[in-house]
Amino acid sequence: MFAQPANQLLTVDQCVEMALKQSPDLVRAQSNLTIAGAGLQTSVSGILPHVSASSSYGQSGPATSYSTDPLGVPVITEGGKDESYRTSLSASQSVINLSQWADILGSYKSRQAAKSGYQQSVASLVYNVKSAYYNLVKLQKAMEVAEASVKQSEEQSKQAKLMHQLGSKSQADMLKIQVRLMQSKIDLLNAQSAQLSGQQTLANILGLAGEVRVGSEVAFPDTNQQAYIIEFLDDKTIESNPGYLSAQKNYQAKKSSAWSAYLSKLPYLSFSYNYGYSDSMQFTNSDSWNAHDSWSASLALNWNIFDGTASMARIRQARAQARSAEADMISARQSVYSELKQAKLGMKTAKEAVSLVGDLLQQAREDYRLTNEKYKLGSASVLDLLTSQLTYNQAQQQATNALCEYYLADARTAKALGKW
């Protein structure tokens, strides 16, 4: 866990950078990619030459020797020991094995699926960071609005008490303002609690200890230069989503695994070669080696005719896994289509809302200013003032929310397209 530097307000880009460096979700996705790559390497090793060397020394005894004396009588001599020295180099090569080739294709597709899964993990992480960040910005703004509302209510309460003492305001009007002050303080407590919760949520995603501080001001976006645009919901757009690509490649991998299980019932051809030395004495030079060396080569055709129905079970299992992966792919496609459609509609709504933010703030600010002046002159009631103040505070919050929702809609669009 890391701590945020004191008095530093994090930007959304800084938060994304932190998450990409230390997120456990990305570590997990990277590990899955490494595992898939190792699986492909293992599959390819099945068709590559295998070379091994060995050297051994052995003794056995007691040794028994047979000979004859000068008269031709057999003589048996017992005792001693036999020694043996062996050195060999062996090589083997799969010549034709269709099952192994299908397994290689499946491993390759699995690695592609893991790669797309990693890209999807990155896109999802970036979106989650931005979602938590802009949610915290909204909560921060809500707290600031609540603080401003408390200050305004306190000032109005002081003025109401003074005017009540002078006889220009009734007891009922003064009580209304004091009730509004109590309500504002309660709203502030709730806003502070929500802000702390939002800070902790973002801190957990970033892997930070302690508070996470962000500003409440959001830059006004240039809606004419949108980073990501979904123009048409066609096959090309859907297939650019890494989540769908991962499901598609996984389905292709499972199909290849099913073919590998089926082809394992067919004969396969292999070649082996062995060269070595064997004698009761260790070789000392090339002549002694050449006198006792040997080699062998073989071409073997192997056929698994019956293995107790184990192959049939593997085929059934592989086919079932392929059907399950196909269903996952169809579900992923439908999910991506829905996500893209929602992202497109969400961006349209967000752009329209942003276009109204400027007028909303200007009109609410002017209305509150005029109503406050009228109240001081006695031409506006307490209810008018409280209503105008509430409208102005809500307008500030709505403006910040609209800007944050625009950036979130842009982030959702990027996630739906598999980008960040």
Inter-residue contact 200 to 132 (CB < 8 Å)? no
| 266: amino acid identity, one letter | L
Percent of the chain with pLDDT over 70: 92
Mean pLDDT of the region 119-130: 93
Q: What is the pLDDT of residue 316?
A: 95
Tens-digit pLDDT profile for residues 371-392: 888 888 878 877 787 778 778 8
Q: What is the CATH number of the domain that holds 169?
A: 1.20.1600.10
Tens-digit pLDDT profile for residues 21-37: 888 888 888 999 999 99
Tens-digit pLDDT profile for residues 347-357: 889 989 888 88
Query: pLDDT: is 3 or 327 the higher one?
Result: 327
Q: What is the pLDDT of residue 4?
A: 52
- For residue 197, being part of any structural domain is answered with yes
Q: What is the pLDDT of residue 228?
A: 66
- For residue 360, being part of any structural domain is answered with yes
Write the CA distances from 61 to 84, 123, 147, 183, 281, integer angstroms: 12, 72, 99, 103, 16
Q: What is the pLDDT of residue 33?
A: 92
- For residue 276, being part of any structural domain is answered with no
- For residue 90, being part of any structural domain is answered with no
Is the pLDDT score of 245 beyond 70?
yes
Q: What is the pLDDT of residue 54?
A: 93
Mean pLDDT of the region 361-372: 88
Q: What is the pLDDT of residue 224?
A: 74
Q: Ranked by mean pLDDT, which of 247-251, 371-375, 404-408 comes out on top?
A: 247-251
**Both tokens of residue 170?**
């009734």
Mean pLDDT of the region 303-323: 92
* pTM score: 0.77
Q: What is the pLDDT of residue 172?
A: 82
Reported confidence tier of residue 48, pLDDT bands at 50, 70, 90: very high
- For residue 386, being part of any structural domain is answered with yes
Q: What is the pLDDT of residue 355?
A: 87
Mean pLDDT of the region 311-330: 95
- For residue 241, being part of any structural domain is answered with yes
Domains contained in the chain, number: 1
- For residue 296, being part of any structural domain is answered with no
Q: What is the pLDDT of residue 93?
A: 94
Mean pLDDT of the region 353-370: 88
Query: pLDDT: is 264 or 227 the higher one?
Result: 264
Is the pLDDT score of 76 beyond 70?
no
Q: What is the pLDDT of residue 7?
A: 59
Tens-digit pLDDT profile for residues 133-142: 999 999 998 9
Percent of the chain with pLDDT over 90: 45
Is the pLDDT score of 5 beyond 60?
no
Q: Tell me the β-bridge partners of 298.
A: 272
The domain of 410 spans 2-47+97-267+306-416
- For residue 132, being part of any structural domain is answered with yes
